[in-house]
Structure 1
Amino acid sequence: MKHRFISKRYWNSITTPMGESVSLFEKFDDIINFSLGDPDFNTPEPIIDLAMEDAKKGHTHYTDSYGDPELRDEITKFYKEEYGLDIKREEIMVTTSGCHAMWLVLEAILDDEDEVIIPDPYFTPYPQQIKLARGKPVFLPTYEEEMFEINVERLERLITNRTKAIIVNTPHNPTGTCYNRRTMQEIAMIAKKYDLIVIADDVYTEFSFEEPFIPMVSLGGMRERTITISSFSKNFAMTGWRIGYILAPDFIVDTVKDINENNVFTAPSVSQRAALHALRLRKKVCPPIINEIKNRMMYAYDRIKRIPKLSTLPPRGSMYMFVNIKETGLNSTEFCDLLLKEAHILTIPGIAFGECGEGFIRLALTIGVSEMEEAFNRVEKLSILNR
């Protein structure tokens, strides 16, 4: 809104559809919510119990500015065991969520008007996060007929003298695609050719269903130019703990730490202890979460492909289905409004994720199969799909 007490940067700010969905949830008593990527199951109890024990032992104070040293050491062990990477403690910074990590990184690397390339569709906050750091978002179209993979020829055409970084998110929100090894290697080649940074948004690493997840930082020559952002929110069902981390060359981590000391200072100590135990328990607590999400993805895919005028790609990763609604003749906002009004189903329109998202809606599979069954039964009765 426009007001003399509000910065002019925010006079034209618009609440995102994801933000609006919170208020819409209260509109009907029987609403089924596919909007936000917050799973309906709680953080595994062993993580909660051990974190609470640590809190009682005194882990309720500020931690080291870079993060709990014990947690950072556990992160180094994780990358060695899972990917064979030797990450140093000095290359790790613990943050208050993955979103906070992204802002800190952008603030650390961007000069005014530096350009950051974002594959479109994209995670909704990216453009505004770039603008908050005084950068300029540049959108790289991706398309369903190409499995929403990045086309490196289109990528290369977008590069200018002001290009500083490329954001790579795989498994991908909202489309659910997982970039194959060839795509990752081609992105790495472009980054090295033009001396660019790759910001790897690695939030859904456990939800790569077709083939094992490939960290960008593991590819040849990418260690010195990759900034990895990770989070405990999805892999461990820890959205409310608000805890993530950054992997980067130590000079970038030092800069991020200095910025954060003027922001939130340190991530919550109890959340850091929970993250520590999550990593130690990952072989036990992650498989049930992954299997449940995969089962939901397969169920949703089977139901969607049998509904007239709707279609979606086979599940590859993440916890989202990006559903093509173009045959209905409605745009994504109109179709979401119809779903809410006539079926009491809350979803996010594809346009919320960029221009290439128009003609789609995103379903966050954060509810159980029985509730999804009711949702798809309602969808099948919509008159617009049966004309």
Structure 2
Amino acid sequence: MKHKFISKRYWKDQSTPMGQVDELAKKFNDVIDLSLGDPDLTTHELIINNSMRDAKLGHTKYTDFRGDPELRNEILKFYKEEYNLSFKDEEVFIAASGCLGMYLALEAILDDGDEVIIQAPYFTPYTQQVELARGIPIPLNTYENEDFQINIERLESLITERTKALIINSPSNPTGNTLSMETLKGISNIAIKYDLLVISDDIYTSFSFKEPFVPIVSIDGMKERTIIINSFSKNFTMTGWRIGNIIAPDFIIKTIQQINENVVFTAPSISQRGAIYALRNRKTVQPDMISEYKNRVYYAAERINKIPNMSVLDPKGTFYLFVNIKKTGLNSVDASDVILKEAHVLTIPGIAFGECGEGYVRIACTVGVEKLNEAFDRIEKMNIFKI
């Protein structure tokens, strides 16, 4: 919006199809919303009840600047128990969401004009977060015919003297893909060769359906050059709690802490208590949730692959499906628009996730199988999805 009281940096409209979904969802009173990744399930009552109790006991004040020490300890225990990885307490920071964690990390490491290579299709905020930190986003396209794996030669071709970091996301939003061990080792070799940081967005690790999740930080030589961004939003259905964490070398964490003191001071104390109980009781609160989303995403993929002019790869992770609609002859914005207008099903155009997302729409399986069934019943009646 151009206005004398608005910074000139924001005069150019930066709205995206992702940011328009709220208004689109209001167009019809029977919309089935498969757009944003906000689960229909609520946070497990064990987490809610214990957090409420702690609030009543006085956990309503600022916490330590790096986060509640009890939560930091639970995170250290989690990584040791799940991945046999050891970190120091000074390498852990609690952030008010994974999104804020990503921005804080970028702000801490980037000088003006530094380049950040971003695995694409990508989570929409990445590019603007890099720009907010005065960096330059460089998309690294991945493709369906390559199983959405990062091509190591393509990665290396994008590196310049200004390249500072690479952002990866596995399991991936929006593709639902997971990076193979071969790919992770290739990325690690490049990071070491060119002395780059890798920012690993690990917020869907519980939803790795084909193979167990492997943190890139576990590969030799990567601990000193990896920044882990994590969140409780998806792994524990705690989107509204806005709580996440960062694991990184201690000098990066110290810088992040200093920046955060001027942004939100500390993460919400009650949300941090919720995160403690989430981690401590993960074997109780997660299995049913993970099973439910796996069932949904596999059902949705089966339905999609039976509809003419639609296809999708077998699900590997997350609760998203990146649906190929190229045979319709429509671009992703027009396809998403006609699906909304004719079927009253809300999706996200693939172009929202980078130029290599063109020809796709993303669906989030954040409604139950019964609703998914209704959505696909509506879609398969559309003319563009008939032979």
TM normalised by structure 2 equals 0.99
Match of 1:346 in 2: 346
User: Could you list the per-position Cα deviations for residues 235-269 of structure 1 after superposition, in whole angstroms to 9, with x for gaps in the alignment?
Assistant: 00000000000000111000000000000000000
Pairs within 5 Å for 1:74-93: 74-93=74-93
Deviation at 1:7, TM superposition (A): 0.2
Question: What is the rounded CA distance, in whole Å, between the counterparts of 1:33 and 1:103 in structure 2?
Answer: 28
Equivalence map 1:45-124=2 (5 Å): 45-124=45-124
Q: Which runs of 5+ in 1 are unaligned?
A: none
SS in 1 for 2:64: coil
1:311 aligned counterpart, secondary structure: coil
Q: How does 1:51-200 map to 2 (within 5 A)?
A: 51-200=51-200
| Structure 2 equivalent of residue 260 of structure 1 | 260
1:29 alignment partner AA: N
Instruction: Tell me the distance in 2 between the aligned counterparts of 1:168 and 1:15.
Output: 23
Q: Deviations over 1:351-372 (max 9, x none)?
A: 0000000000000110000000
- Give, in whole Å, the separation in 1 of the partners of 2:234 and 2:84: 23
- Residue equivalent to 1:221: 221
The residue type paired with residue 94 of structure 1 is I
Number of aligned positions between the proteins: 387
Give the match's secondary structure for 2:276.
helix
Q: Deviations over 1:148-173 (max 9, x none)?
A: 00000000000000000000100000
TM superposition shift of 1:120: 1.5
Aligned residues: CA RMSD: 0.6
- Aligned AA (2:333): T
Q: How much does 1:18 deviate?
A: 1.8
- CA apart distance, 1:27: 1.3
Helix, strand or coil: the match of 1:140? strand
Cα distance in 2 for residues equivalent to 1:185 and 1:384: 42
Which deviations, in whole Å up to 9, do the C-alpha atoms of 1:290-312 show, x marking residues without a partner? Answer: 10110001100110000001000
Give me the whole-angstrom Cα distance separating, in 1, the residues matched to 2:372 and 2:318. Answer: 17
CA distance in 2, matches of 1:203, 1:352: 20
CA deviation string 1:174-205 (max 9, x = no partner): 00100011100110010000000000000000
Say whether residues 1:289 and 2:308 are aligned partners.
Answer: no
Q: What is the CA–CA distance in structure 1 between the aligned matches of 2:134 and 2:61, rounded to whole Å?
A: 33
Which 5+ residue runs of structure 2 have no aligned equivalent? none
Q: Aligned AA for 2:182? A: R
SS at match of 2:263: coil
Residue aligning to 2:236: 236
Amino acid at match of 2:356: C
Question: Which residue in 1 is equivalent to 2:203?
Answer: 203
Q: Secondary structure at the match of 2:286?
A: helix
Deviation at 1:337, TM superposition (A): 0.6
Whole-Å Cα distance in 2 between the matches of residues 14 and 195 of structure 1? 32
Residues 97-135 of structure 1 show CA distances to partners (whole Å, capped at 9, x for unaligned) of 000000000000000000000112110000000000000
The structural deviation recorded for 1:385 is 1.6
> What SS does the aligned partner of 1:112 have?
coil
- 1:332-343 equivalences under 5 Å are 332-343=332-343
1:26 Cα deviation from its structure 2 partner = 1.4
1:319 paired to 2:319: yes
CA distance in 1, matches of 2:13, 2:115: 21
Q: Which amino acid in 2 is paired with 1:174?
A: P
Distance 1:372 1:385 in 2: 17
Matches within 5 A, 1:358-369: 358-369=358-369
Alpha-carbon distance, 1:13 to partner: 2.9
Task: Name 1:40's counterpart in structure 2.
Answer: 40
Distance in 2 between residues matched to 1:313 and 1:223, nearest whole Å: 32
Helix, strand or coil for the counterpart of 1:9? Answer: helix
Cα displacement string for residues 320-359 of structure 1 (whole angstroms, at most 9, x for unaligned residues) = 0000000000000000110111111100000000000000
Given residue 33 of structure 2, which amino acid in structure 1 is its aligned partner? N
User: 2: distance between equivalents of 1:225 and 1:306?
Assistant: 44
How far 1:55 moved relative to its partner? 0.3
What is the one-letter code of the residue matched to 1:234? K
2: distance between equivalents of 1:105 and 1:145? 32
**Matches of 2:281 and 2:38, distance apart in 1:** 21
| Runs of 4+ in structure 1 over 2 Å off | none
Cα distance in 2 between the residues matched to 1:384 and 1:326: 11
Distance in 1 between the 2:131 and 2:20 partners? Answer: 21
2-structure distance, mates of 1:191, 1:326: 35
1:274 matched to which residue of 2?
Answer: 274
Q: Write the distance in 2 (CA, Å) between the matches of 1:364 and 1:217.
A: 28
User: Percent sequence identity over matched residues?
Assistant: 63
After TM superposition, the score normalised by the length of structure 1 is 0.99
